[in-house]
Amino acid sequence: MNWRSEWKVLAIMIGAFLAAFFLPVGLPRFDGALLEAFHLVKWYAREHVVLCLLPAFLIAGAIAVFVEKESVMKYLGARAPKPLAYGVASISGSILAVCSCTVLPLFAGIHRMGAGLGPATTFLYSGPAINVLAIILTARVLGPELGVGRAVGAVAFSIIIGLLMHVIFRKEELAKTGVQVAMPEPKVTRPLWQNAIYFGLMVAILVFANWGKPGESGRVWAAIYSSKWIVTSVLAAGFGIVLVAWFRLRTSRLLLIAAPVIVLALFARGHPILAFAAGIIGLGAVTSIRQDELGEWFDSSWGFAKQILPLLLFGVLVAGILLGRPGNEGVIPSVWVSRAVGGNSVWANLFASVAGAFMYFATLTEIPILQGLLGNGMGKGPALALLLAGPALSLPNMLVIRSVMGTKKTLVYVSLVVVMATVSGMIFGVVVG
């Protein structure tokens, strides 16, 4: 036997045995942490997967198929006016819906083709930071304050970081002023206004289906909440008409999708989530067998679901074990958390920023982790600091950035993100605290 090729297997077996041998089953804290993990996973599955994640996957898939990247990228080149370049770069994350690793080849491409360092780094930050899925789920799970803070902070961050990178390395950037980048023209398959209505209806369905119950009754928000499923149904019907009229979906297929939805809506009125789920499942079943752009839409959405959903649920499970649900203890005592990131001190915000910058967060997994941290004493300022630094950076991300723009620029970029996240966290903590 060649032990050189088997020592890793042996080491894994020994490690697994020792972990099982010393497994702290029976200790109240460990047993309670396991129970908290399953409670948290159950809550996520019931409250967020069907109404929030599934329609968001459809939106992300549609973005990948129906929005040409060339139509975004051409505005980041040297020919574009600076306000336009930074404006487009700062909001492109909501269009491209990429993570901190997926954005890297796009960043490398536009940087090497001659895009300015400022717009390129603005795009590099905004790509993973301004993610529709993440912002929606942040507001839904962590509260509207952090959701708005993350959205506004990420947009402002991306522009400021890009401008500072341009100023700091201005001499090198002047050499690029004569370079004009010609981006390919995007393919136009339908008018822009049709795509706008298509995306607008999907976003509206997502918003109204997740409309939360207001704290007070008798007001506009309460009236919207009481009729949210009627509004959602009207929007869904309009969306079906759009698919038939502009995306060549057969009317018979639309009726096949709608039939179980109508039945469940009439006979299971107390559980509207069933009708909603039936509509999404029916839409997926019909589009999955097509070979045209609707089939590509399903494939793209399914790709997002396969990539994100398992990681998200695993992240929820780990967060539950380590931190428990809000108000409940996991393996890590809440007093440890409150000491490290509690309150709104400079240290708490800096610690959250640095820890977030070096950790790798798979898309959306930062949300359940933060939910556990907030429930165990983390301040809202450090929470925002982690949200602004974490998803946009990671150690693998830094290594690739260094290979594209060098060590000096990478160190400056990472330092700007950490410092600005720290300062933003402190300001946010004062405002909402």
Q: pLDDT at residue 99 above 80?
A: no
pLDDT, position 281: 94
Distance between first and last Cα of the chain: 64
State pTM to two decimals.
0.69
Compute the average pLDDT of residues 361-380. Answer: 77
Residue 219 CA, distance from chain mean position: 32
**What digits encode the pLDDT tens for the residues 103-151?**
776 677 767 666 778 888 888 888 777 776 677 778 878 888 888 888 8
Residues 6+ apart with CB under 8 A from 291: none
**Mean pLDDT of the residues in the chain:** 81
Percent of the chain having pLDDT more than 90?
22
Whether the per-residue pLDDT at 351 is higher than 80: the answer is yes
Give the span between the Cα atoms of 254 and 249, in whole angstroms: 7
Checking if the pLDDT of 376 tops 80, the result is no
Task: Please state which of the ranges 71-75, 257-261, 323-327 shows the lowest mean pLDDT.
Answer: 71-75
User: Above 60 in pLDDT, residue 78?
Assistant: no
Give the Cα separation of 405 and 351 in Å (integer): 26
Residue 417: predicted pLDDT: 93
* pLDDT tens for each residue of 267-280: 988 889 999 999 99
What is the model's pLDDT at position 69? 59
Six token digits for residue 38: 């399953």
How far, rounded to the nearest angstrom, does the alpha carbon of residue 351 sit from its chain's CA centroid? 22
User: How many CB atoms are located within 10 Å of the residue 28 CB?
Assistant: 9
Measured CA to CA, the distance from residue 128 to residue 218 in angstroms comes to: 39
Q: Over the stretch 168-205, which tens digit does the pLDDT of each residue have?
A: 988 776 765 554 444 455 566 778 789 889 988 998 89
Using 50, 70 and 90 to split pLDDT, how confident is the model at 79? low
Assign 9 a pLDDT band (cuts: 50, 70, 90): confident
For 378-418, how does the pLDDT look when each residue is reduced to its tens digit (9 = 90+)? Answer: 888 999 998 898 878 877 778 878 888 889 999 999 999 99
How confident is residue 214, by pLDDT bands cut at 50, 70 and 90? Answer: low
Q: Which of 49, 46, 34, 25 is nearest to 323 (CA)?
A: 34
CB-side neighbour CA atoms (13 Å) of 304: 28
Of 57-66, 213-222, 294-303, least confident by mean pLDDT is 213-222
The pLDDT score that the predictor gives to residue 180 is 45
Mean pLDDT is highest, among 124-138, 214-228, 341-355, for: 341-355
Question: Which residue reads 């993973």 in tokens?
Answer: 128
